[in-house]
Amino acid sequence: MRGLADRPEDVPAVFAGRFNSGDAAALAQVYGDAAVLVPQPGTPATCPVLHAVNGRLQELGVPIAVRPRHVYRSGDVALLIVDWVIDGTGREGQAVHVEGTATDMARRGADGRWRYVIDNPFGTRAQRLPTEDTVDPGC
């Protein structure tokens, strides 16, 4: 499994590798302390809810593909614009297709590794992750 990112432009690939591994604990390491996931506009999720949303997506058994479009860095913070898609047949035989262009923020930690602090998978597009409605966005 790939280590954590040494550069902000590597965070999406680290995320994808860990997501596709199915290892929820490894995926959780890609997020900084107090990170926020926005599964639908206006509904940020933190704490264990963030990890529960990602876990439900991992349980579908369909890999994610990512393609960073832009990375803008200022010191220890970076804005990442990333095209992504989850497309295939799920474990239950259902067709799965979810895609978006994420607007994400990453920060370099004291250990020198870059992690997401804000994961906004749909950017400005009004959509929601398919498993969001089963979780409460609070901690």
pLDDT tens per residue, range 118-129: 999 989 776 666
Q: pLDDT tens, 75-116?
A: 999 999 999 999 999 999 999 999 999 999 999 999 999 999
- The chain-wide mean pLDDT, for the chain, equals 90
- The residue among 51, 28, 46, 27 whose CA lies nearest residue 36 is 46
CA 73 to chain CA centroid, Å, is: 19
pLDDT of residue 43: 85
Confidence of residue 8 (pLDDT cuts 50, 70, 90): very high
pLDDT of residue 3: 94
65-96 b/e (C-beta count within 10 Å ≥ 16 → b) = ebebeebeeeeeebebebebebeeeeeeeeeb
pLDDT of residue 137: 43
131 pLDDT above the threshold of 80: no
Assigned token pair, 2? 């790939």
Cα–Cα distance measured from residue 52 to residue 21, given in angstroms and rounded to the nearest whole number: 16
pLDDT of residue 133: 47
pTM of this prediction?
A: 0.87
pLDDT of residue 41: 80
pLDDT of residue 136: 42
Q: pLDDT tens, 17-65?
A: 999 999 999 999 999 999 999 988 888 989 888 999 999 899 999 999 9
